[in-house]
C-alpha cells in the first residue's frame, strides 16, 4: 500500500514541473501583455518600454521562468500588475470565497445524487426511474450558464428568495453572526444551481453501478441466505456501488479551488473562476500563470487522491 502511494507521488512531481513549464510557455505565447491594452496617447511607448524593462518582460523566457520558479519555491507568485498587490494575497482573498461555494456545492451534489441514484438503480425501468434519468439527460444537455441565468431570474428576481449577486451583503462587519449568515445565504443559490447540473453524472454512475451489481452472483448468494431486501441493498449492493463515486471524490475536491467561471460571473461572486477570466482579459500574467499552475496542481493531486481512495476501497486496483 505505502509502496503504491510513494510510487504514485514520484510520478506526480515531474508532472507538476512539466506543467509549470507548459503554463509558462503558453502564457508567453499569448499575444499582448499587461501593457498592450493601454493604448493611451498619454502613456508613451517609451514609458511602456520602461515598465516592461522593470517588470522583466524583455528578458528571455528561460530567465523569466527561473525567476518565476525561484519565487514560487519561496511561496511568492510575484506581483499582480493590474491589482498592484502580491498575487498570493489576491489568491487568498478569492480562494476563501471559492472554497466555501464549492464545499456547499459538493455537499448539495451528494445530497441530491445519492438518494436519486439509489432509487433509480433499485427501481430501474419503473416510471420513477425514467423520471430520474429524464432529469439527468436534461442536466447533461443544459449549459450551466443558461441554467444559472434561469435560476437567478426565477428565484432571485421573480420570487426574491435569494440575494442575486455578491458573496455577502454590503456593509456588514466581517466576523459578526450577521456576516456569516449573509455569506451562507449568498452561497445557496449559486451552489444549488451548480449542484443540480453537476450531480447528474454522479446519479448516472450510481444508477448503472447498482443495476450492474444487482445481478452479481454474491447478491444472489446473499438473497439465497435469506438476507432481507434492505440488508441486501444497504450492506451488499450499496457498498460495492459507491466505488466509482469514491473514485470521483478526488476530482471533486479539485473543484474546491478552481471554482466556476460561469457561476461566479453571473452571480457576481468574486472567486477564483471569475479572477481567472478577468486576469486573462487584462493580460495580468503573473496572476494567470499562478492560477493555471494552481488549478493544474490541484487536478494532479486530485487524481492522486482518487487513486489512493480507490486503492483503499478496492485492493484489485493497486498497481503491481
Partner 1 sequence: MKKVSFSKLLLALMLVFLLVLAACSGGSDEETEGTDSGTDTEEGTEEGTEDGEEAEESDGIYSIDDFNVDKTNEGEAIEGGTLNYGLVSDTVFEGVLNRVFYEGNPDYEVLKFFDENLLAIDNNFNYTQEGAAEWDLTENEDGTVTITFNIRDNVNWHDGEPVTAEDLLFAYEVIGSPEYEGVRYYYIESVVGMADYNAGEVDTISGIEIVDEKTLAVTFVEANPSLLASGLWSSPLPKHIFEEIPIEEMAESDAVRVNPIGFGPFKVETITPGESVTYSANEDYWRGAPKLDGITLKVVAPQVVANELETGGVDVVDSFPTDQYPDVEESLTNVEFLGQIDNAYTYIGFKLGSWDADAGEVVMDPDAKMADVNLRRAMWYAVDNDTVGERFYNGLRWAGTTLIIPSFPDYHDPTIETPSYDLDEANRILDEAGYEDVTGDGLRENPDGEELVIKFASMSGGDVAEPIANYYIQAWEQAGLNVELVDGRLMEFNSFYDRVEADDPDIDIYQGAWGTGTDVDQNGLYGRTAAYNYTRYASEENDDLLARGASADSMDIEYRQEVYKDWQQLMVDEIPVFPTLYRSKLVPVNNRVTDWSIQTEWALNNKFHEVGLTQEDPVLPE
Q: Residues interacting with partner 1, by CB under 8 A?
A: 30-32, 36-45, 47, 51, 54, 82-86, 89, 93-94, 127, 130, 134, 137-138, 141-143, 145-146, 149-150, 152-153, 156-157, 160, 164-168, 170-173, 265-270, 274-275, 278-279, 281-283
Closer CB to partner 1, residue 45 or residue 315? Answer: 45
Rounded to whole angstroms, how far apart are CA atoms 136 and 199?
8
Is residue 54 packed enough to be buried (19+ CB in 10 Å), middle (13-18) or exposed (0-12)? exposed
Closer CB to partner 1, residue 252 or residue 284? Answer: 284
SS3 214: helix
Report DSSP letters for 173-212, one per residue.
PTTSHHHHHHHHHHHHHHHHHHHHHHHHHHHHHHHHHHHH
Q: Tell me the closest approach of the beta carbon of residue 312 to partner 1, in angstroms.
A: 39
Closer CB to partner 1, residue 163 or residue 296? Answer: 163
Distances (CA, A) of 85 to 180, 218, 259, 278, 281: 26, 60, 22, 15, 18
Question: In sequence order, what are the residues at sequence separation of 6 or more whose Cβ sits closer than 8 angstroms to the Cβ of residue 270?
Answer: 93, 94, 97, 166, 167, 264
Backbone φ, ψ for residue 161 (5° rounding): -80, -30
Closer CB to partner 1, residue 1 or residue 30? Answer: 30
Q: Tell me the closest approach of the beta carbon of residue 24 to partner 1, in angstroms.
A: 18
- The partner residues of 79 in beta bridges, in order of sequence, read 86
Rounded to whole angstroms, how far apart are CA atoms 261 and 270?
10
Closer CB to partner 1, residue 83 or residue 249? Answer: 83
Q: Tell me the closest approach of the beta carbon of residue 159 to partner 1, in angstroms.
A: 11
Closer CB to partner 1, residue 138 or residue 180? Answer: 138
Q: Tell me the closest approach of the beta carbon of residue 45 to partner 1, in angstroms.
A: 5
Find the length of the chain: 320
Closer CB to partner 1, residue 160 or residue 226? Answer: 160
| Tally of CB atoms within 10 A around 251 | 14
Q: Tell me the closest approach of the beta carbon of residue 138 to partner 1, in angstroms.
A: 7
Q: Tell me the closest approach of the beta carbon of residue 158 to partner 1, in angstroms.
A: 9
Q: Tell me the closest approach of the beta carbon of residue 194 to partner 1, in angstroms.
A: 16
Q: Is 165 left (phi over 0), alpha (psi -120 to 50) or beta?
A: beta
Amino acid at each position: 500500500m505505502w509502496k503504491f502511494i510513494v510510487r504514485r507521488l514520484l510520478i506526480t512531481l515531474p508532472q507538476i514541473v512539466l506543467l509549470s513549464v507548459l503554463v509558462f510557455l503558453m502564457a508567453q505565447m499569448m499575444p499582448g501583455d499587461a501593457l498592450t491594452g493601454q493604448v493611451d496617447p498619454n502613456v508613451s511607448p517609451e514609458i511602456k518600454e520602461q515598465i516592461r524593462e522593470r517588470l522583466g518582460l524583455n528578458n528571455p523566457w528561460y530567465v523569466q521562468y527561473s525567476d518565476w520558479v525561484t519565487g514560487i519555491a519561496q511561496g511568492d507568485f510575484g506581483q499582480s500588475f493590474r491589482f498592484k498587490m502580491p498575487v498570493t494575497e489576491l489568491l487568498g482573498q478569492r480562494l476563501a470565497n471559492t472554497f466555501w461555494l464549492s464545499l456547499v456545492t459538493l455537499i448539495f451534489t451528494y445530497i441530491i445524487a445519492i438518494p436519486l441514484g439509489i432509487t433509480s438503480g433499485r427501481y430501474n425501468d419503473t416510471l420513477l426511474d425514467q423520471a430520474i434519468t429524464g432529469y439527468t439527460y436534461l442536466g447533461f444537455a443544459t449549459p450551466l450558464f443558461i441554467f444559472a441565468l434561469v435560476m437567478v431570474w426565477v428565484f432571485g428576481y421573480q420570487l426574491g428568495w435569494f440575494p442575486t449577486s455578491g458573496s455577502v451583503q454590503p456593509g456588514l462587519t466581517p466576523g459578526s453572526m450577521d456576516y456569516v449568515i449573509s455569506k451562507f445565504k449568498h452561497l445557496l443559490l449559486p451552489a444549488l444551481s451548480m449542484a443540480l447540473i453537476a450531480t447528474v453524472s454522479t446519479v448516472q454512475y450510481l444508477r448503472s453501478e447498482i443495476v450492474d451489481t444487482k445481478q452479481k452472483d454474491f447478491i444472489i448468494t446473499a438473497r439465497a441466505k435469506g438476507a432481507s431486501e434492505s440488508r441486501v441493498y444497504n450492506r451488499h449492493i450499496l457498498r460495492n456501488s459507491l466505488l466509482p463515486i469514491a473514485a470521483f471524490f478526488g476530482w471533486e475536491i479539485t473543484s474546491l479551488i478552481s471554482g466556476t467561471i460561469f457561476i461566479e460571473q453571473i452571480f457576481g461572486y468574486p472567486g477564483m473562476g471569475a479572477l481567472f477570466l478577468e486576469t486573462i482579459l487584462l493580460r495580468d500574467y503573473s496572476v494567470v500563470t499562478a492560477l493555471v499552475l494552481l488549478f493544474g496542481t490541484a487536478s494532479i493531486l486530485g487524481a492522486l487522491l482518487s487513486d489512493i481512495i480507490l486503492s483503499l476501497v478496492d485492493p484489485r486496483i493497486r498497481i503491481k
